[in-house]
Amino acid sequence: MLEELSQIFKALSEQIRIRILNLLTTGELCVCDIMAILNISQPKASRHLAYLKHSGLVQCRREGLWMHYALKSDMDSQILKLIDFLHSYRKEYPVLQQDIERLTSRLKEK
């Protein structure tokens, strides 16, 4: 269990992965949405999403050409507390709030 916890904290050590998790608190997203909102390339998005998946924080499914990612549905309650902590601090960090605003705008356009 300590190894899993260590892996989770390593996953949270990158700002881009924190921003991705922040976006995924709203629900499942296509990698194309994550790329557009964070203004990152597909390889960079996929690399960070793979790290989050390997850490047990996200799950994915394929739909056509695109992969869709969501927070893992069967996370341990302690991990969910970390996700809730991130969600509660969204307003304290303008970049996290701006990401959500861009996501909301993008989803309205679809």
- Distance linking the first and last C-alpha atoms of the chain: 41
Instruction: Please report, rounded to a whole number, the percentage of residues in the chain having pLDDT higher than 90.
Output: 66
Task: Please report the pLDDT score of residue 37 as a whole number.
Answer: 97
Model confidence, pTM = 0.91
How far, rounded to the nearest angstrom, does the alpha carbon of residue 98 sit from its chain's CA centroid?
15
User: Per-residue pLDDT for 96 more than 90?
Assistant: yes
Range of the domain at 9: 2-109
Split into its structural domains, the chain has a count of: 1
What's the CATH number where 37 sits? 1.10.10.10
Beta bridge partners of 43: none
pLDDT band at 88 (very low <50, low <70, confident <90, very high): confident
Q: What is the pLDDT of residues 29-78, one digit of tens each?
A: 999 999 999 999 999 999 999 999 999 899 999 999 889 999 998 888 87
Task: Please report the pLDDT score of residue 19 as a whole number.
Answer: 96
